Amino acid sequence: MALDTVAIAAGEPDAEQPWRELGLKADEYARIREILGRRPTSSELAMYSVMWSEHCSYKSSKVHLKQFGEKAPHSDALLVGIGENAGVVDIGQGYAVTFKIESHNHPSFVEPYQGAATGVGGIVRDILTMGARPIAVMDPLRFGLADAPDTRRVLPGIVAGVGGYGNCLGLPNIGGEVVFDETYAGNPLVNALCVGVMRHEDIKLATAHGTGNFVVLFGAKTGGDGIGGVSVLASETFASGKAAKRPSVQVGDPFAEKVLIECSLEIFAEDLVIGIQDLGGAGLSCATSELASAGSGGMSIQLEKVPLRDPSLSPEEILMSESQERMCAIIEPAKLSRFMKICKKWDVTATVIGEVTDGKHLQITFNSELIVDVPPRTVAHDGPVYNRPIAKPGYLDSLVPTSLPTLDTQDAIKAELLALIASPNIADKSWVTDQYDRYVQGNSVLSQPEDSGMVRIDEETHLGVAISTDANARWSYLDPYNGAKLALLESCRNIATTGAKPLAVTNCLNFGSPEDPGVMWQFAETVRGLADICLEMGLPVTGGNVSFYNQTGAVAILPTPVIAVLGVIQDVRTRTKMGIPSAGLQLIQIGNTDDNFSGSEWAHLHGQLGDHAPTPDVGTEIRLTQLLLEAQPLFESAHDLSDGGLAAALAEATLRNNIGATIGLPGEFIPGGVAAALFAETPGRVLVSVDPVNVSALEALASKYEIPLHTLGSSGGDALVINHAAIPLSELRTAHTETLPKLFG
Amino acid sequence: MRIGVVTFPGSLDDSSALRAIRLAGGTPVPLFHASDDLKEVEAVVLPGGFSYGDYLRCGAISRFAPIMSSIIVAAEHGFPVLGICNGFQILCESHLLPGALTRNQGLHFVCTDQALTIENTATPWTSGYTTGQRLVIPIKNGEGSFQASSTTLAELESEGRVVLRYADKNPNGSKNDIAGIANTRGNVVGVMPHPEQAIETLTGPSTDGLTFFTSILQSMVGR
- pLDDT for A407 equals 87
User: Hey, are the CB atoms on B140 and A441 less than 8 Å from each other?
Assistant: no
User: Hey, are the CB atoms on B203 and A444 less than 8 Å from each other?
Assistant: yes
The arithmetic mean of pLDDT across residues A96-121, rounded, is 92
**CA A78 to the chain's CA centroid:** 19
- pLDDT for A238 equals 35
Farthest CA pair distance, chain A:
88
Q: Does A344 touch chain B (CB under 8 A)?
A: no
Considering its fold, how many domains does chain B have in total?
Answer: 1
User: A446 by DSSP, 3-state: which?
Assistant: strand
Low-confidence winner among A231-235, A388-392, A662-666, A669-673 (lowest mean pLDDT):
A231-235
- pLDDT for A208 equals 81
- pLDDT for A231 equals 44
Which is more confidently placed, A240 or A466? A466
- Which parts of A144-286 are beta strand (E)? 173-180, 189-199, 214-219, 275-278
CA–CA separation, A451 vs A686, rounded Å?
A: 11
Half-sphere exposure of A176 (CA within 13 A, CB side): 33
* Closest residue, chain B, to A447 (C-alpha): B203
The arithmetic mean of pLDDT across residues A79-85, rounded, is 76
Q: Three-state SS across A525-572? A: HHHHHHHHHHHHHCCCEEEEEEECCCEECCEECCCEEEEEEEEEECCH
Query: B54 falls in which pLDDT band (50, 70, 90)?
Result: confident
Q: Does A16 touch chain B (CB under 8 A)?
A: no
User: Hey, are the CB atoms on B9 and A347 less than 8 Å from each other?
Assistant: yes
**B58 catalytic residue (yes or no):** no
Which of A164, A434, A573 minimises the CB distance to B111? A434
In angstroms, the Cα distances linking A560 to A88, A462, A477, A507 are 24, 35, 8, 10
Q: Say what percent of chain A tops pLDDT 90.
A: 78
The arithmetic mean of pLDDT across residues A470-489, rounded, is 97
**What residue type is assigned to position A26 of the chain?**
A
Query: A242 falls in which pLDDT band (50, 70, 90)?
Result: very low
Say if residue A236's pLDDT is above 50: no
CA–CA separation, B58 vs B60, rounded Å?
A: 6
User: B97 by DSSP, 3-state: which?
Assistant: coil
Which of A256, A439, A443 minimises the CB distance to B140? A439
- pLDDT for B223 equals 62
Chain B contacts in chain A segment 168-187 (CB below 8 A): 168-170
> What CATH number does the domain containing B39 carry?
3.40.50.880
- Looking at domain A6-60+205-380, which CATH architecture does it have? Alpha-Beta Complex (3.90)
Query: A31 falls in which pLDDT band (50, 70, 90)?
Result: very high
- pLDDT for A498 equals 97
Give residue B170's domain range: 2-221
Q: What Rg, from alpha-carbon coordinates, does chain B have?
A: 15
- pLDDT for A21 equals 86
Sorted by where each begins, the domain ranges of chain A are 6-60+205-380
Query: A244 falls in which pLDDT band (50, 70, 90)?
Result: very low
Q: Whats the size of chain A, residue-wise?
A: 745
Query: A232 falls in which pLDDT band (50, 70, 90)?
Result: very low
Catalytic annotation, pick one of B42, B93, B119, B196:
B196
CA–CA separation, B80 vs B92, rounded Å?
A: 15
Computed over every residue of chain B, the mean pLDDT equals 95
Computed over every residue of chain A, the mean pLDDT equals 92
In tens, the pLDDT along A543-602 reads: 889 999 998 888 899 999 999 999 999 999 999 999 999 999 999 999 999 999 999 999
In tens, the pLDDT along A340-371 reads: 999 999 999 999 999 999 989 999 999 999 99
User: Hey, are the CB atoms on A259 and B13 less than 8 Å from each other?
Assistant: no
* Closest residue, chain B, to A439 (C-alpha): B197
Low-confidence winner among A404-413, A560-569, A703-712 (lowest mean pLDDT):
A404-413
Chain B positions in Cβ-Cβ contact with residue A440 (cut-off 8 Å): 12-13, 16, 48, 140, 197
**Helix then strand then coil, % of chain A, to nearest 5:** 40, 25, 35
User: Hey, are the CB atoms on A439 and B111 less than 8 Å from each other?
Assistant: yes
User: Hey, are the CB atoms on B9 and A346 less than 8 Å from each other?
Assistant: yes
Rounded to a whole number of angstroms, the distance from the CA of B14 to the nearest CA of chain A is 8
Q: Does B171 touch chain A (CB under 8 A)?
A: no
User: Hey, are the CB atoms on A439 and B49 less than 8 Å from each other?
Assistant: no
